[in-house]
């Protein structure tokens, strides 16, 4: 909250915002934020609903109910949650995430729309099928919106090593982990460009408490923006992962 208050952003994209989870002592973080920022409107979409997550074995995560939220100083004409493909069925769904992205649309004076999308893609699994299906769905969706002339910003945790970034820039004793893969080259997102801070890590490993120089670090958080937007600056805030295993990323932009 201190970081947000110091920036006073026009739009805030939250991932893993808990509403009823063991890991955050069942604090409803969405209600807390809504009360703290009454001058912002928000849209929320559930992304994780797990009855009981039994790992790690000695300190199980337990019940998880959390989601994605977009807070903004402007009222949107539409807000919607899109369920991503590749979800597991049956018994396995009880232990799995309900991956989705949340969208808010804003009408502009020139008759076009500004579309803000907040996402949190799946972690790596052995086949990588689910993450591939998610990316293909997003690629097709963005292509359609781009053809309609919208201004589009997609931000969040992509759970991939983002294009143009190199984890080896960040000193670490840990090796490159199996859970991190490069974003597949076939997803070029025509008409879009990446807005990332390649010099500041946005995620760290969780094998131990943070020890700079030991933990593996990478850039998995950032923005994909349509080419009708002008990116003024993008920067990640390195606070030593004091509040999370991610660092926040700020995008400053202007409509062409």
Structure confidence at residue 116 (pLDDT)? 98
Which pLDDT value is given to residue 209?
A: 92
- According to the model, what pLDDT value does residue 49 have? 86
pLDDT < 70: residue spans in the chain = 87-97, 125-127
* Domain boundary assignment for the chain: 121-255
pLDDT, residue 60, reads 87
Amino acid 81: pLDDT: 97
* pLDDT score at 93: 52
pLDDT in tens, 11-66: 999 999 999 999 999 999 999 999 999 999 999 999 988 888 887 788 888 999 99
d(CA 177, CA 216): 8
pLDDT at site 154: 98
Give the C-alpha separation, 185 to 208, whole Å: 32
Distance CA 40, CA 54 (A): 36
Q: What is the pLDDT of residue 134?
A: 95
Q: Is this prediction's pTM over 0.85?
A: yes
CA 21/CA 28 separation, integer angstroms: 8
Burial 82-107 (b: 16+ CB within 10 A, else e): eebeebeeeeeeeebbbbbbbbbbbe
Q: What is the pLDDT of residue 92?
A: 47
CATH fold for domain 121-255: Deoxyribonuclease I; Chain A (3.60.10)
CB within 8 A of 206, min separation 6: which ones? 245
């Amino acid at each position: 909250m201190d970081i947000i208050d110091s920036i006073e952003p026009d739009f805030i994209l939250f991932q893993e915002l808990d509403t009823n989870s063991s890991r955050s002592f069942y604090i409803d973080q969405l209600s807390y934020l809504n009360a703290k920022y009454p001058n912002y409107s928000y849209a929320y979409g559930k992304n994780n609903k797990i009855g009981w997550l039994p790992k790690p074995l000695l300190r199980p995560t337990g019940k998880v109910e959390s989601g994605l939220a977009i807070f903004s100083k402007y009222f949107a004409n539409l807000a919607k949650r899109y369920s991503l493909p590749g979800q597991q069925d049956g018994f396995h769904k009880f232990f799995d995430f309900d991956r989705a992205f949340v969208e808010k649309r804003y009408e502009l004076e020139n008759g076009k729309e500004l579309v803000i999308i907040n996402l949190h893609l799946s972690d790596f699994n052995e086949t990588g099928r689910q993450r591939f299906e998610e990316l293909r769905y997003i690629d097709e969706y963005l292509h359609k919106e781009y053809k309609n002339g919208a201004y589009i910003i997609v931000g969040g945790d992509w759970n991939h090593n983002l294009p143009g970034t190199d984890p080896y820039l960040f000193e670490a004793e840990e090796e490159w982990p199996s859970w991190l893969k490069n974003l597949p080259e076939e997803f070029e997102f025509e008409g879009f460009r990446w807005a990332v801070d390649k010099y500041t890590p946005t995620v760290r490993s969780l094998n131990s408490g943070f020890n700079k120089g030991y933990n593996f670090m990478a850039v998995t958080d950032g923005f994909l923006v349509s080419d009708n937007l002008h990116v003024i600056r993008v920067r990640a805030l390195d606070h030593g992962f004091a509040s999370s295993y991610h660092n926040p990323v700020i995008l400053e932009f202007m409509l062409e």
